[in-house]
Structure 1
């Protein structure tokens, strides 16, 4: 997604497949298994837009958590049996890309902050250091914000609290994708504000027909 593809790479990878809600990720992995390489241009900037409503954002996050988990089970055997890439590439795709980033990474926030810490607080004998529960998380959030979006540094703490809440939503979507339960392949288009503006933008041609210009009025006279 967000890339310029060679038609030969798409065709050799098997084309577009709608077996999950992350078709772009599916295609990218299959192309990688065929030996195709990617080039990331750091100096090229492309405009993007976030979902304009919270409902649209939740739908997007559900798809981004559910889709990779669903794709993991459908591709893990295919990746393991692939003979065109090295064993280290297979290890990276299965362990690093899928298991750590898409599964463990999604589950950690919810498990630690929304399950483990609340349960530990109910046990008087348990002693969780403040640096592990609060300070370390604050430092990670601050560094992440400074590197990615420095101008949003003042939102680091609200963002951290918001992410803890969203972690439950993503974890739920993760299990839906892993077990291919209901809504695993549900596709909800993420409507954005730019789409609304384009829809409501008047058509210059139609407006010119309905409202004659000053030049046309003079000709009519």
Structure 2
């Protein structure tokens, strides 16, 4: 009876991994099918009044670089308003205030708006700025982004009609090659910005504002209900509320703004936890509204896949945990021989993910051989990091499902200056105890797989212990540097 229960539970959770992979394949096909579609840009667009919003919190290392890049933007000063939405509790406030005064002397209409509390966190700061913003359009940049001079004029051409409410641009990376950790993150983000965003947008499906490097029409934000702080992903939340109300979004794959990737595993965990938990909170809030809206079935299906994709971490972790006793059942009983032939599906799932990653790299590199060489290292790195984060992100999923409220914890930035980041607390080893236990668990599973000569499960288990080993190694490296 126990054996039957293990088999049923494993295939139940693995079924959702298959569904997720089918969704990925559908999105990849959509991207390839619509790849040659061109946007009809509005090149006669008259430059409107525009407010730049810069939400910052304790960003002493990057605030000056951000304001320097804003100063270099090519836009008429008489149509430009700048808001530094500063919730800082450290000397960032002083640094920002000094730089703001300098920009005022240069003729910029710039305000330093400091809040003594962080009510609503980033969403609260943006909503507070929205109330006093005098412009029709709002560009938003996080502290670590560096927009190039013509960003505003280039992006505004993507507002092609009155119903275009938001235009999102692609993230680039200032430090993608800094370490294995940043390389893995860059690969994952490139998959999202090259395949996900362009595929959904050109296919006629919903996309999301990524929290920065985009321009909103103020009317769209107000009509959708403004910025809400009841989820940790205020950007995804507002995006879906606006599109459900009928607003259109555009994506600019050729407009790239570089930003800083977190170079410490503790910072990556903080960021991933917020994105994962916020995605779950948003799915709980809006999935029902999505299906009640007057939209095509395809839009609802792709939208559901988008809102629910964070749950994959839990399905991966649980199915991996179950696969270890399942391996013993498989190799000590002949009762389920026919069923275990389906384990070839694991390789199919891996192949879909590989093709997804390879396509993104090929589009970026534009050369087949160069893309093939890069994917050989990039794909395993991104996959291993994702698997290594599965426990931490599964915690975020369950907290989101249970409605546990947590603070919006920003991702610490340090610019190119290097050195020790005082915003990062020295990670305690106890925080990584679950990853250590999981590393040992899957190491045992891999050794058992070698004993049984079960190479199907062996690949799975090697990837799992490599993922948790990578997280542990990154944590040790961070600790030794502090």
- Global fold match (TM > 0.5): yes
Q: How far apart, in 1, do the equivalents of 2:298 and 2:222 lie?
A: 22
Aligned residues: 190
Q: Where in structure 2 are the equivalents of 1:51-130 lying within 5 Å? A: 51-82=262-293, 85-86=294-295, 88=297, 91-92=300-301, 95-99=304-308, 101-103=309-311, 105-112=312-319, 114-123=320-329, 124-125=332-333, 126=336, 128-129=340-341
Shift of 1:77: 4.0
- 2:231 corresponds in structure 1 to 20
TM-score under structure 2 length normalisation = 0.36
TM-score under structure 1 length normalisation = 0.73
Shift of 1:94: 6.0
Question: Alpha carbons of 1:94 and 1:179: their partners in 2 closer, same or farther (altered >3 Å)?
Answer: farther
Q: How far apart, in 2, do the equivalents of 1:195 and 1:46 lie?
A: 16
Q: Where in structure 2 are the equivalents of 1:177-196 lying within 5 Å? A: 177-181=400-404, 184-194=405-415
- From the two aligned structures, give the one with the greater helix fraction: 1
Contact 1:21 1:187 in 2 (8 A): yes
Shift of 1:11: 0.9
The CA RMSD measured in Å over matched residues stands at: 2.7
- 1:144 corresponds in structure 2 to 356
Question: Alpha carbons of 1:87 and 1:145: their partners in 2 closer, same or farther (altered >3 Å)?
Answer: closer
Q: Deviations over 1:9-47 (max 9, x none)?
A: 111111111111100111101111110001112222221
Shift of 1:152: 4.5
Contact 2:226 2:238 in 1 (8 A): yes
Q: How far apart, in 2, do the equivalents of 1:195 and 1:20 lie?
A: 31
- 1:11 corresponds in structure 2 to 222
Q: How far apart, in 2, do the equivalents of 1:116 and 1:22 lie?
A: 31
Q: Flag structure 2 segments of 5+ consecutive residues without an equivalent.
A: 1-209, 362-370, 422-482
Shift of 1:78: 3.8
Bigger RCO of structures 1 and 2 (CA < 8 A, at least 6 apart): 1
- 2:390 corresponds in structure 1 to 167
Q: How far apart, in 1, do the equivalents of 2:291 and 2:383 lie?
A: 36
Contact 1:69 1:102 in 2 (8 A): yes
- 1:44 corresponds in structure 2 to 255
Q: How far apart, in 2, do the equivalents of 1:145 and 1:76 lie?
A: 28
- From the two aligned structures, give the one with the greater strand fraction: 2
Q: Indicate whether 1:154 and 2:377 are aligned.
A: yes
| 3-state SS of 2:257 partner | coil
Q: Deviations over 1:169-211 (max 9, x none)?
A: 2122111101112xx43211101332867xx9xxxxxxxxxxx
| 3-state SS of 1:46 partner | strand
Contact 1:52 1:193 in 2 (8 A): no
Q: Deviations over 1:142-184 (max 9, x none)?
A: 3233122333531423433332221122122111101112xx4
| 3-state SS of 1:43 partner | strand
